[in-house]
Structure 1
Amino acid sequence: MMPYAARAVPWLRIAAHGVLVVASMEVVQRWPWQTWPLQGCAVALLAAGAASCFDEPAAVLVDALPRPLWWRTTARAAGVLLLLGAWSVAVLRSWDDLFAHPWHVAWQGVAACLAGAAWAAWRRSGGDPDPGVRLGLVVVPLVTAWALVRPFSEQLPVFPYADGSGDFGDWGASLAGWVALGGVAVVALVAALGDARWWWPRTTGRTSGRGVALTMGRHRVRSVD
């Protein structure tokens, strides 16, 4: 798997995401009260980077090859491990500056990686060649804006702040939400890699590798007839 991962994973893009994550958390460590929204931005970068690990420009050809999606996804997960390593370094360096909730912040990054990987695997199961790029274009600016404005901070504390009182958002409720997201992501990832037919996405304007294989199979049957 490692030779395949070395060629298939967009390592430069993943490394760039990792550097930005560490840099963002480094700023948060130095000025947590003023720059806390960068913590949300770092989490968004993790989700986008994790999804990018599974982008496949030659999806129409690759998906028709004998190697199944779960094999290719497992190999490409090496990129996600790199991102988690960068996140671990970032959290450890800022451990004492995360408002006494470093474990909560750490889990946000893990859940974001799981969610990004699950989304990419789901979209790849339908033949989408670059779900990571599209996810990043939406998630990074949207989540960064959410972390900056923090709407519905009492009802939906995505990125709680300081001691979690009042408008700062409740840390316990936030952790419950992130745990739920991680659980849903694991179920979605297993369903996508298990080739569950009820889970196949409907693609528009694209032909999945599965569709190519089935089409080729129909042609072979007709030629025999």
Structure 2
Amino acid sequence: MGKKTKKWGMVIDQRKCVGCHTCIIACKSENNVPLGYWRSWMKGIQKGSYPNVKNFFLRRLCNHCDNPPCVDVCPVQATVKRADGLVTMYYGKCIGCGMCIAACPYDARFFNPVRRTADKCSFCAHRIDAGLLPACVTSCIGRAITFGDLNDRGSEVSKLIAANATVVIKPELGTLPKVFYIASDRDLLGRIKLSESYPEAIEEYEKTITGKLSDYWKR
């Protein structure tokens, strides 16, 4: 029997994240991202009202979807999904048309003005191929980020998903993200999910692609 192909995924535990941005800086440094641009970012979520306020920090990045719309729209096959599930780019092929940027429902892509190509989080594919963990994982001071093989039930990432209530962002789009979030607060889980199961969200997303692409070409 052949060896099962790995499928990489990530779990971000909101119970442990303190919003320090160390993972964001580590990503930027590791991947030489230009000044003013980010492959991942932090979104603040506030619950309650003064004096009973709780702040949460939601890290956003490429979700390395199982059904990635960015791959489908690329006219030159510069964006591909590898056998291990990583959605990666061939920068030498990219013509900077912006189709993938417009197609991503997570706003995870941007135009890199130095490379003159689209850019995004790669899960640090170069480190994974060398047997290392992504830079954000090793830098997290709260150990809030776990990375591993989703096809291995014994992996830490699989155990976390099995033992906890997890959500992905915008599940109704059918992209099947591989970045999962854990939160102890049910309301927060719902807000991370963003749009629970509204069919109109899909229609609205499809409508906005044309508008986003139009805005991109105005730059």
TM-score computed with the length of structure 1 as normaliser: 0.26
Q: Which has the higher helix share?
A: 1
Pick the structure with greater CA Rg.
Answer: 1
